[in-house]
Structures are given as C-alpha cells and as structure tokens.
A = this chain, B = another copy of it.
Amino acid sequence: METEDAAECSRVLAVADGLFYAHGIQAVGMDRIRDAAGVSLKRLYRCFPSKAALVEAYLRTRDEWARNELSAYLTGIESPRERILGVFDWLHAWAQGADFHGCAFLNAYGELASGSEGVVRAVRDHKSALRRYLRHLAGTTAARDPETLAAQLALLLDGALSGAHVSGTAAPALDARAVAATLLDASGAGRPAPA
C-alpha cells in the first residue's frame, strides 16, 4: 500500500503535469485534476497538501523531463559542435509537437512570480541547471570563452522557446540554430577541444 500510494501520487502528478502545461496553472482547478486522475479530493490532498505543493512538484517533474529528454537526444552525437546544434534540433522537434506550449518555467513565472516564492526558486533553479549543462557543452569545444558562449546559448534557447510559443510555429528554433552555428564559427569552437 505504501507503493500503491506512491503509484497513485505519481499518476496524479502526471495528470496535473499534462493539464498545467497544456492550459496553465491558474486555469486548472483541483477539481479538474481530481476528475482527470479519478481519485477523491481526500486522496489528492494526501498526496499533495496544497495546490502550491503540487505546482512545485510539477515544476520539478518538468525540469527532470527536459533534462532527460535533451541528454537522451544528444546521446551518441560525437562532435561537440553538433551536440550544441543538436540542442536546437531537439527544441525544433519538440516545438513541432501538438503538445508544445512553450517553456513551462517561463509560463509559470509569468503566471505566479508575484506571490509564490517557491515558483521563483524553481524557475531559477531550472534555468541555472540548464545554464550549467550548456556551460558543460561549451567546455567541450575549443571556444575561447565557454562561459560567455553558454550565456549566449541560453539566451537563444529562451528566445526560441518564447518565439515558438507565441507564434505557434517551430521556425524560431531553426533561427536559433543558425545563430548558434554562427556563434560557434566565430568563437573558435571549430577546432578540436584542448587537452
């Protein structure tokens, strides 16, 4: 029953994740989550003591999801340059899906930044984790200044996410890819990584 509870809570979280991401957090009430998950409110509140707790769990889930998806997508790509460009290919593929609704973190930030300290923390944590990952990727190239390169790539990612979301097309991901290629060319990243 311990494990049953955990499984149920996971299912609730998965349902909430889908609804929050698709329709926004404020637009989805606890009743709707209850109906979609097929549990009673009592059980729902046993899993997550408040909507705020559920929202934070949702953001943690999204963070893990994005990082797992991205690193899985990049697995097997040998060239550092191609791995970085692959970030934008991944985004392009994601943005083409019918279930794409932009960056869950930027959305949550816009909805709840004023009034929820936990959300602000979760968003910043996610962005800095992503930044570290890009820094890591930049470090595998011969770029003269990997830190700056990572900041610029993060910028492109945010811009492409916003642009794709608002415009409803995946084109900004390709624009961002082209910009990244230009940056890599200009940064000296074309040469093999230093020892």
- A residues touching B (Cβ–Cβ < 8 Å)? 23-24, 26-27, 105-111, 113-115, 123-124, 127, 148, 151-152, 154-163, 165-167, 171-172, 175-176, 178-179, 182-183, 185-186
Q: Chain copies in the assembly?
A: 2
Contact B106 A166 (CB under 8 A): yes
Residue of B whose beta carbon sits closest to that of A128: B167
Contact B159 A127 (CB under 8 A): no
Contact A114 B156 (CB under 8 A): no
A14 to B107, CA, bound (A): 26
Distance to closest chain B CB from A78 (angstroms): 26
Could you say which residues of chain B place their CB within 8 Å of the CB of A111?
24, 26, 110-111
Most chain B beta carbons < 10 A, residue from A162, A178, A185: A162
Contact A175 B157 (CB under 8 A): no
Residue of B whose beta carbon sits closest to that of A181: B186
Contact B162 A106 (CB under 8 A): yes
Contact A172 B151 (CB under 8 A): yes
A156 to B183, CA, bound (A): 13
A26 to B176, CA, bound (A): 32
A172 to B186, CA, bound (A): 19
Residue of B whose beta carbon sits closest to that of A154: B163
Contact A178 B152 (CB under 8 A): yes
Contact B159 A157 (CB under 8 A): yes
Distance to closest chain B CB from A8 (angstroms): 28
The one of B27, B110, B160 that contacts A159, using a Cβ cutoff of 8 Å: B160
